[in-house]
Amino acid sequence: MRKKIVNLDQAINHILSHDLTKIDVESGYKGPRFKKGHVIKEEDISVLRSMGREHLTVLELEEDEVHEDDAALALGLAMRGDGLKLRGPNEGRCDLVSEKKGLLCFDPDKIHFINDDPDWVVVTANPYTVIGPGDLVAGFRILPLAIKKAQLERAIKISARFEVKGFNPLKVGLVTTGREIKAGVIEDAFRPKLEKKVAYFGGNVVGQNIVGDESEEISVAIRDFLNRGADIVICTGGMSVDADDNSPRAISEVCDEIKFKGIPVLPGSMLMLGLKGEKVIIGAPACVVHDEWTSLDLILPRIFAGLIPTLEEIRRFGVGGLCRRCKNCTFPNCSFGVKI
């Protein structure tokens, strides 16, 4: 990139090499009217003349260089997937903004690869974050006024694509275990909390079966919901290691595959998930009834978005899997303060 001085009439489409200050005596304003890196447009000429400019010091790109705005825009277009709009470029920066409610999906390792180049800065929300319309999910820019074409091509080739997966309106059946609840000795508190969480994703609780503690009775209740068309069955209670806790056994009897039993998240480490065909059966830990945030709040968004986590993914939940339960939650895996 080279500097040169040009007449004002010849400055269109050239890049300013430094800020240009404007002083307005009447308003008392003094500050940069045009910033370094600004590409001169035809409509800027009259403003520049009013500032007493007839010549400008501009930058001339080399054959193998790309201006910061053009580079940011090119990468933004390559990274923008479904459910996102591109904002910018402005001073070498573009943003990705969500157009709908859903789950933010991207490969964080690919972002790390781009950021290995010190001229790029790509900053994102956490993957698998629940977001809404208008939420900023990623911002990226280059630090110099221009980069080499090879640097831009490398960043684009990494294919770090973002998308927002919408939530599916799934049908949910609740199987609540416990002799004391079945007998009416204590009132069930699971359903009100789970109805609220399910409704957030557009789902619907189609019913509740309250059963005792026998594994056969629990498995019959699960199958009943599956036969009635439920997409998800959530079993509440009986997930501990006591002699009367038989939900894990019942879930195992019904499922074709157990994806995981136990999850490195607190509270809620006893959560279990299995599959019967494409149907999901969850064993929810008792803490769901009294804690605002549990492991269930990490799993439900994935299920409603159609992304069942693998065992390998689950085992990595431990880093950031300790919910601090503070007012301004910093739980990295949570939904950024969305109460569900």
Mean pLDDT, residues 137-160: 95
Q: What is the pLDDT of residues 261-283, one digit of tens each?
A: 999 999 999 999 999 999 999 99
Q: How far apart are CA 329 and CA 291, in angstroms?
A: 14
The answer to whether residues 189 and 143 belong to one domain is no
Tell whether the model's pLDDT for residue 255 goes beyond 90. yes
User: What pLDDT is stored for residue 3 in this prediction?
Assistant: 83
Cβ proximity of 94 and 75 under 8 Å:
yes
Domain range spanning residue 242?
Answer: 171-315
Asked which of 110, 130, 165 is the last residue of a domain, the reply is 165
User: What pLDDT is stored for residue 298 in this prediction?
Assistant: 92
Q: Quick check: is 78 in a domain?
A: yes
Q: Are strands 146-148 and 136-142 parallel, antiparallel or unpaired?
A: unpaired
Comparing 37 with 229, the larger pLDDT belongs to 229
Where is average pLDDT lowest: 18-27, 287-296, 300-309?
18-27
Q: Quick check: is 337 in a domain?
A: no
In which region does residue 172 sit, left (phi positive, over 0), alpha (psi from -120 to 50) or beta (all else)? beta
Q: What is the pLDDT of residues 225-247, one digit of tens each?
A: 999 999 999 999 878 766 557 89
Tell whether the model's pLDDT for residue 140 goes beyond 80. yes
User: What pLDDT is stored for residue 31 in this prediction?
Assistant: 74
Comparing 326 with 167, the larger pLDDT belongs to 167
Looking at 161-310, list the stretches that DSSP marks H as alpha helix, in order from N- to C-terminal side. 179-182, 190-200, 215-227, 247-254, 296-304
Q: Please name which of 183, 205, 181 lies closest in space to residue 193, comparing C-alpha atoms.
A: 205
Tell whether the model's pLDDT for residue 325 goes beyond 70. no
The answer to whether residues 115 and 144 belong to one domain is yes
Local confidence band at 307 (pLDDT 50, 70, 90 cut-offs):
very high
Q: Quick check: is 340 in a domain?
A: no
The answer to whether residues 43 and 91 belong to one domain is no
Asked which of 119, 140, 165 is the last residue of a domain, the reply is 165
Q: What is the pLDDT of residues 207-222, one digit of tens each?
A: 999 999 899 999 999 9
Q: How far apart are CA 248 and CA 262, in angstroms?
A: 11
Tokens of 83: 């459910």
Q: What is the pLDDT of residues 109-133, one digit of tens each?
A: 999 999 999 999 999 999 999 999 9
The answer to whether residues 129 and 220 belong to one domain is no
The answer to whether residues 181 and 306 belong to one domain is yes
Q: Quick check: is 320 in a domain?
A: no
For the chain, give the mean pLDDT: 90
User: What pLDDT is stored for residue 14 in this prediction?
Assistant: 87
The answer to whether residues 186 and 213 belong to one domain is yes
User: What pLDDT is stored for residue 331 in this prediction?
Assistant: 45
Tell whether the model's pLDDT for residue 338 goes beyond 60. no
The answer to whether residues 185 and 297 belong to one domain is yes
In this structure, the number of other CB atoms found within 10 A of the CB of residue 331 comes to 20
Local confidence band at 30 (pLDDT 50, 70, 90 cut-offs):
confident
Cβ proximity of 213 and 240 under 8 Å:
no
Comparing 39 with 91, the larger pLDDT belongs to 39
Count structural domains, the chain: 3
Mean pLDDT, residues 47-55: 89
Q: Quick check: is 48 in a domain?
A: yes
8: domain CATH number? 3.90.105.10
The answer to whether residues 40 and 135 belong to one domain is no
Mean pLDDT, residues 89-104: 93
User: What pLDDT is stored for residue 15 in this prediction?
Assistant: 86
Q: How far apart are CA 193 and CA 297, in angstroms?
A: 12
User: What pLDDT is stored for residue 244 in this prediction?
Assistant: 59
The answer to whether residues 190 and 306 belong to one domain is yes
Taking CA atoms, 327 is separated from 46, 212, 287, 323, in Å, by 53, 37, 19, 11
User: What pLDDT is stored for residue 58 in this prediction?
Assistant: 83
Tell whether the model's pLDDT for residue 330 goes beyond 70. no
In this structure, the number of other CB atoms found within 10 A of the CB of residue 173 comes to 24
Mean pLDDT, residues 301-310: 96
306: domain CATH number? 3.40.980.10
Local confidence band at 332 (pLDDT 50, 70, 90 cut-offs):
very low
Backbone phi, psi, residue 55, to 5°: -135, 150
Q: Quick check: is 335 in a domain?
A: no
The answer to whether residues 74 and 55 belong to one domain is no
Mean pLDDT, residues 313-322: 90
Comparing 158 with 291, the larger pLDDT belongs to 158
Furthest C-alpha separation in the chain: 90
Q: How far apart are CA 69 and CA 279, in angstroms?
A: 47
Backbone phi, psi, residue 68, to 5°: -55, -45
Asked which of 40, 60, 80 is the last residue of a domain, the reply is 60
DSSP 278-315: TEEEEEE-GGGGT-SS-THHHHHHHHHTT-PPPHHHHH
The answer to whether residues 158 and 186 belong to one domain is no
Tell whether the model's pLDDT for residue 334 goes beyond 70. no
